[in-house]
Structures are given as structure tokens and as C-alpha cells.
A = this chain, B = another copy of it.
Amino acid sequence: MDVRSLRYFIAVFEERSLSAAAKRCFIAQPSISTTLSQLEEDLDTKLFVRHSKGVAPTDSGTQLYPHACRMVNELNDIKDMFRKNAKPLTLSISLAPFLSGTLISQVIKTMLDEIPGLTLSLVDASESADLRFTCDSYTKNDDVFYPLWEDDYVVAMPVGYWLADYTSISIKQIDKQPFVSRTPCDILESWNFIMQKQGLTTDVRAQVKTEEYALDLVAAGLGISLIPEHSARGRGDIVLRTLNDIALKRVVGLAHNKDRSFPAYVINTILMSKNKFFGKKSAIKSRVA
């Protein structure tokens, strides 16, 4: 019987549903199911009656709930007690220009929420920052890199563009298309190499620096472009199609200089929150550059 079980129990009790509790805890539903069974076995009492539209707490469950809450809260209090003692921490962070913001802003929000006393200042990517959101291909040798998620590159095109009729497209269909080029881009070299090898060309209509601007131009009908999926998701004014014959991807993560040391829990907090935002398959293992 550990606190993990109690956390799950609390979620189930409040949601009146294993599936909902699983979502709330960012884990799969069978994990909740087995953990809860173990808890029931350990306490030798059924905590919920299962029916087809959720679960209802038994008397034992109702009895356990306040105690479970108290346990979990007290454990959090202990943690806070020591972290509050710690001197307020100010970190500078930077964002690589080719990264767009929705997911990263969620990460930053989590950091501020979960690390009391933390102050962040955003600096330009050209300046040196304590923590840098960037891609693995842009890390230096004396960096430590913590991967956060993987982005697949997809083709972005205006609504109604002829290529949108295909569910996924071949790189050969890109030949001679009007194109919005973006630089710096971590896969630009591989892209050029592949195009050249296949004897393909694009008709470059614009050269831009940021993903947002590229997407705006695509939406305006200037041409198509190659964009990491997470950056383009959620825009209704463009259409995204995957490439079916080549897989281009980048690994987005957090880098800092090896010599710069923070309290370890800062990094841990960020890594812990990974599967909150990114599906399991795109949240990948750590690696030191």
C-alpha cells in the first residue's frame, strides 16, 4: 500500500469512473484497474461496486476517501516545506526561432505551476540562456539534452489545394510545386539532399524565418510548405498531409550547458509532466549529447 495507489483511488472516487480517473492521471485505464484491485486486496475490502456506467463507492470507499486525501496532501506539504525554504530561483530560457509555441507554453506553464518560487525570463535565442528549448540537432557537445517530444514533418497546403485530395502524398508529387521555404530549419539539409537525389525541384515563392509566418503564407495560398505537425495542428485555414515515402522528424527538447547545474527537481518536474502533453509514442527517452 503506497501513496500511488491512494492517488489513483482519489481520482476514481472523485470521477466515479476508472476511465475518467485514468485520463486524469495520464495513464491507461487497465493500470488504474489493477492498482485499485491490489489496494482492495491489501485492505481486504471492496472499495467500489462496478457497474456498466462507472463505479460507485462502497461504505469502505467512502470511509477511506478523507484519509487518502489527508495522506496525499500531507506528503505534498512536506515537499513544499523544503522547497519553500529554498532560495527563490530565477532562470533565463530561450526559444529556438523555428519552434512554435502551443506545446512549449504548456510546458512553461507547468514549470511555473509546480515549482514555487520560480521566476522565468525569456531571452532571445541569440543570447545565452540557462535553459534552451531547441532541437537535438542544434545541441552542442557540452550540452545536456532532455528530449520532450518528436515532431513528424507534414506538408501544409491551402484549403482546396489539389494535393489535399490525397490522404497522404508522395514526395514526387511535390515536384515543381509553389513552395514557402523556411530557414533555419533542422531538416533543411536532408530535405535538399532527398529532393536533389530524386531529381525534384520546388518553385520557391517565399523565404521566411518562423513557422507561424510560413503557415500564414500557406493559408494565403502562396504555396505549400513543410512544417512539424505539432506546430501546424489546430489551424483551420490550412490542410495537413503526411508524406508516405519518406519520414522526416525532429526531436524537440530542453538543453542546457553541462557545467550549469540546477536543482535536480527542476528538470525532474519537467520530465515528469511529459506524458501530460504528448502521447506515449512521441515522448521518448533521455539522452546526453
Contacts and interface: CB of A to CB of B under 8 A. Distances in A.
Q: Number of copies of this chain in the oligomer?
A: 2
B82 A44 contact: yes
Interface in A251-288: 263-265, 268
Given A2-B4, A44-B83, A67-B81, 4 more contacts: A44-B263, A63-B81, A68-B78, A71-B78
A67 B73 CA distance: 12
Interface of A: 1-4, 41-45, 60, 63-64, 67-68, 70-71, 74-75, 78-79, 81-83, 85-86, 263-265, 268
A45 B265 contact: no
B71 A67 contact: no
A67 B60 contact: no
A1 B45 contact: no
Nearest to A70: B74
A268 B44 CA distance: 11
A265 B79 contact: no
A63 B82 CA distance: 9
Contacts of A71: 71, 74-75, 78
A43 B79 CA distance: 6
Given A60-B82, A71-B78, A78-B71, A268 B42 contact: yes
Given A67-B78, A71-B71, A78-B67, A265 B41 contact: yes
A1 B43 contact: no
Contacts of A264: 41-42, 44
A63 B83 CA distance: 13
A268 B85 CA distance: 40
Nearest to A59: B85
26 contacts: A1-B75, A1-B79, A2-B2, A2-B4, A41-B264, A41-B268, A42-B268, A43-B79, A43-B265, A44-B83, A44-B86, A44-B263, A44-B265, A45-B82, A45-B85, A60-B82, A60-B85, A64-B78, A64-B82, A67-B74, A67-B78, A67-B81, A70-B74, A71-B75, A71-B78, A74-B74
A224 B41 CA distance: 48
Contacts of A85: 45, 60
Contacts of A82: 43-45, 60, 64
Q: A-B pairs with the 10 shortest C-beta distances?
A: A43-B82, A41-B264, A44-B263, A67-B78, A45-B82, A44-B265, A2-B2, A44-B86, A2-B3, A42-B265
